[in-house]
C-alpha cells in the first residue's frame, strides 16, 4: 500500500513539475512578447516623430512658396507700371521729334533769309575792311604811345629806387620789410568761407585739380590732363607739386614765392598752405567755371555787327572753345540740381539711358545698341569710361564745342559720376 501511495505521489509530483515548467515557458514567452511590443512601440513613436518633422518642413516650405508667389506677383505689377511709363516716355519723345522736325523746316526757311542777308553783308564788308585798316594804323600809334609811357614809368621807378636806397643809407641800414606775397595768412583757414577749409582737409585732391586747371590756362600746369591729372598725380607728392604751382600763381599775382619756401610750407602744414594758394586764385577770379572771367590787360576784340550795325564785344561763350557750360565739380549746378546728382551717384544707368536716347533722337548715333533707353541703361553702365569716350565728344559736337576721346575716357575713369553729370547737363541746356 505504501508503494502504491508513493507511486501516486510521485506521479502527482511529476505532473506538478511539468505544469510548472509549462508555466515558466509561457511566462518567458509572454516576457519576450512584451519586449517585442515595447520595441515596436518605440519604433512606431520614432516614425511618428519623423512624420511630424516632415509635416512641419512641408508646411514651412508651403508658407515660403506662398510668400515667394506674392513677391513675384508684386514685382510683376511693378514692372508692368514701369513699362507703361516707358511707353508714355516713348510717345512723348516721338511728339518732341515731330515738333523738332517742324522747327527744323522753319530753321531752313530762316537760313535762306540769312544767306540773303549774308550776301548784303559781304558787299558792306569791303567798306568795313578799309575802316579796319585805319583802326590798325590808330592801334600802332597807340602802341607807340604806350611804349613811351612805359619808358617814362621805368624811369620813375628807377628814380624811386634811388630815393629808397638813399633813405635806407640815411636810416643807418635799417632792414626793409619784405613785400607780402599772399593776400591771406597761413593760419587764416576759414577766411573767405568754411567750405574751402573743409574741402582742403577732407578732399585735397579736388583743390589740387582746380589749381592745375588754373595753371593750364597759362601753360604752366605741373601735371598734364587738367583737373583729372592734378587730382590723380598732384596728390601723389603734394610738396613737389606745390613747389612748382605756388611760384607760378604768385608770379601771376605780381609777386614772388620761392620754391624752397613753398616746399617747406607744404611739408609742415599742407592743408593750410594749399587753401592759402587756392584762395589767391579765387581772389583773382581765374578759376574755370567760377562764373568770373580771367583778368587780362588787353581788351576783347570787337566784331562787326550784321548789316553794318554797331560792333559788339565777343561773349565768353564764343571764346570758350573746348569748355563745358558747367564745371566738373559743380555737382549740384542747374539745370538738374541735386536730383541729377543723386541719380548719377545712386543709379547712373538712368542718366546713361537718357543720354543714349538723346544721341539717337538727334541723329548722331547711339553709343550702345539695343535701343536708346534700354541699350544705354544695360550696356552704358557695364563700362562707363568706354561709354563716355563716345558719348561726350558727340554731345560736345552737338553743342558746338570740342572734347577729346582720351580726356573723356580719363574723366570717366577718375570721376565718373561728376563727368556724367557735366555731359548730361549740357544736353539739358541745349534742349531747354
418/337 same-domain check: yes
Q: Is residue 127 part of a domain?
A: no
Residues 431 and 337 occupy one common structural domain: yes
- Average pLDDT of the residues in 257-269: 82
User: Is residue 149 located within the same domain as residue 207?
Assistant: no
> Over 80: is that where the pLDDT of 162 sits?
no
Average pLDDT over every residue of 143-151: 82
In this prediction, residue 235 carries a pLDDT of 72
Arithmetic mean of pLDDT over the chain: 76
How many structural domains does the chain have? 3
Weakest-pLDDT range from 201-215, 340-354, 370-384: 370-384
> Do residues 431 and 379 share a domain?
yes
Structural domain that includes position 414: 330-432
pLDDT at 90: 92
Q: Are residues 199 and 258 in the same domain?
A: yes
Instruction: Give the residue from 284, 317, 338 where a domain finishes.
Output: 284
The size of the chain, in residues, is 432
Residue 11 in any domain: the answer is: no
Same-domain pairing of 255 and 337 = no
Q: Is the pLDDT of residue 294 over 50?
A: no
Residue 17 is assigned to a structural domain of this protein: no
Asked if residue 177 has pLDDT above 70, the reply is no
The answer on 198 and 164 residing in a single domain is no
pLDDT at 375 over 70: no
Over residues 284-294, the mean pLDDT reads: 44
Most confident of 130-134, 152-156, 268-272: 130-134
Task: Locate 99 and state its grid cell.
Answer: 515738333
- Kindly state whether residue 302 falls inside one of the protein's structural domains: no
For residue 351, what pLDDT is reported? 83
Per-residue 3-state assignment (H helix, E strand, C coil) for the chain: CHHHHHHHHHHHHHHHHHHHHHHHHHHHHHHHHHHHHHHHHHHHHHHHHHHHHHHHHHHHHHHHHHHHHHHHHHHHHHHHHHHHHHHHHHHHHHHHHHHHHHHHHHHHHHHHHHHHHHHHHHHHHHHHHHHHHHHHHHHHHHHHHHHHHHHHHHHHHHHHHHHHHHHHHHCCCCCCCCCCCCCCCCCCCCCCCHHHHHHHHHCHHHHHHHHHHHHHCCCCCCCCCHHHHHHHHHHHHHHHHHHHHHHHHHHHCCCCCCHHHHHHHHHHCHHHHHHHHHHHHHHHCCCCCCCCCCCCCCCCCEECCHHHCCCEECCHHHHHCCCCCCCCCCCCCCCCHHHHHHHHHHCHHHHHHHHHHHHHHCCCCCCCCCCHHHHHHHHCCCCHHHHHHHHHHHHHHHCCCCCCHHHHHHHHHHCHHHHHHHHHHHHHHHHC
Q: Does some domain include residue 55?
A: no
Sequence-ordered list of residues with C-beta below 8 angstroms from that of 127, at least 6 positions apart, any chain: 308
Whether 161 and 207 share a structural domain: no
Let me know if residue 311 belongs to a domain: no
Residue 304 falls within a domain, yes or no? no
pLDDT (average), residues 41-62: 87
In this structure, are 388 and 338 located in the same domain?
Answer: yes
For residue 290, pLDDT beyond 70:
no
Of 227 and 297, more confident: 227
Does the structure show a pLDDT above 60 at 92? yes
Residue 291 has pLDDT above 50, yes or no: no
pLDDT at 176: 45
The pLDDT assigned to 95 comes to: 92
Provide, rounded to the nearest whole percent, the portion of the chain with pLDDT above 90: 3
Residue 295 pLDDT exceeds 70 = no
Looking at the predicted structure, is the pLDDT value of residue 319 above 70?
A: no
User: Do 344 and 277 reside in the same domain of the chain?
Assistant: no
Residue that wins the pLDDT comparison between 318 and 212? 212
Mean pLDDT, rounded, for 20-41: 87
- Specify the pLDDT at position 99: 92
Lowest mean pLDDT among 117-126, 254-263, 421-430: 254-263
pTM for the model? 0.32
Pair 276, 373 in one domain: no
Q: What is the mean pLDDT of residues 220-230?
A: 73
Average pLDDT over residues 32-57: 87
Amino acid at each position: 500500500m505504501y508503494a502504491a501511495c508513493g507511486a501516486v505521489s510521485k506521479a502527482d509530483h511529476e505532473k506538478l513539475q511539468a505544469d510548472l515548467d509549462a508555466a515558466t515557458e509561457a511566462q518567458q514567452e509572454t516576457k519576450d512578447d512584451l519586449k517585442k511590443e515595447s520595441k515596436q512601440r518605440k519604433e512606431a513613436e520614432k516614425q511618428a516623430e519623423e512624420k511630424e518633422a516632415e509635416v512641419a518642413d512641408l508646411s514651412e516650405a508651403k508658407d515660403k512658396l506662398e510668400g515667394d508667389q506674392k513677391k513675384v506677383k508684386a514685382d510683376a505689377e511693378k514692372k508692368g507700371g514701369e513699362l507703361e511709363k516707358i511707353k508714355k516716355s516713348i510717345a512723348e519723345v516721338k511728339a518732341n521729334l515731330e515738333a523738332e522736325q517742324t522747327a527744323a523746316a522753319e530753321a531752313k526757311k530762316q537760313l535762306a533769309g540769312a544767306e540773303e542777308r549774308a550776301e548784303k553783308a559781304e558787299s558792306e564788308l569791303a567798306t568795313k575792311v578799309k575802316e579796319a585798316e585805319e583802326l590798325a594804323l590808330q592801334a600802332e600809334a597807340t602802341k607807340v604811345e604806350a611804349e613811351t609811357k612805359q619808358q617814362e614809368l621805368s624811369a620813375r621807378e628807377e628814380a624811386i629806387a634811388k630815393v629808397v636806397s638813399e633813405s635806407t643809407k640815411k636810416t643807418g641800414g635799417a632792414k626793409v620789410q619784405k613785400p607780402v606775397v599772399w593776400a591771406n595768412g597761413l593760419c587764416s583757414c576759414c577766411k573767405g568761407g568754411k567750405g574751402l577749409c573743409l574741402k582742403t582737409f577732407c578732399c585735397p585732391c579736388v583743390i589740387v585739380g582746380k589749381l592745375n586747371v588754373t595753371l593750364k590756362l597759362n601753360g604752366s600746369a605741373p601735371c598734364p590732363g587738367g583737373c583729372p591729372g592734378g587730382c590723380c598725380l598732384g596728390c601723389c607728392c603734394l610738396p613737389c607739386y606745390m613747389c612748382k604751382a605756388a611760384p607760378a600763381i604768385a608770379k601771376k599775382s605780381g609777386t614772388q614765392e620761392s620754391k624752397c619756401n613753398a616746399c617747406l610750407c607744404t611739408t609742415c602744414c599742407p592743408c593750410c598752405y594749399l587753401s592759402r594758394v587756392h584762395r589767391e586764385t579765387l581772389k583773382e577770379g581765374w578759376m574755370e567755371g567760377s562764373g568770373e572771367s580771367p583778368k587780362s590787360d588787353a581788351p576783347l576784340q570787337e566784331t562787326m555787327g550784321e548789316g553794318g550795325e554797331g560792333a559788339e564785344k565777343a561773349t565768353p561763350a564764343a571764346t570758350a572753345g573746348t569748355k563745358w557750360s558747367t564745371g566738373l565739380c559743380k555737382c549740384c549746378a542747374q539745370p538738374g540740381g541735386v536730383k541729377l546728382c543723386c541719380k548719377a551717384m545712386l543709379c547712373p544707368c538712368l542718366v546713361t539711358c537718357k543720354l543714349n536716347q538723346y544721341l539717337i533722337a538727334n541723329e548722331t548715333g547711339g553709343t550702345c545698341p539695343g535701343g536708346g533707353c534700354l541699350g544705354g541703361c544695360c550696356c552704358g553702365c557695364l563700362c562707363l569710361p568706354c561709354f563716355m569716350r563716345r558719348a561726350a565728344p558727340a554731345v560736345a559736337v552737338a553743342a558746338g564745342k570740342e572734347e577729346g576721346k582720351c580726356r573723356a575716357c580719363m574723366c570717366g575713369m577718375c570721376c565718373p559720376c561728376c563727368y556724367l553729370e557735366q555731359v548730361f547737363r549740357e544736353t539739358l541746356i541745349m534742349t531747354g
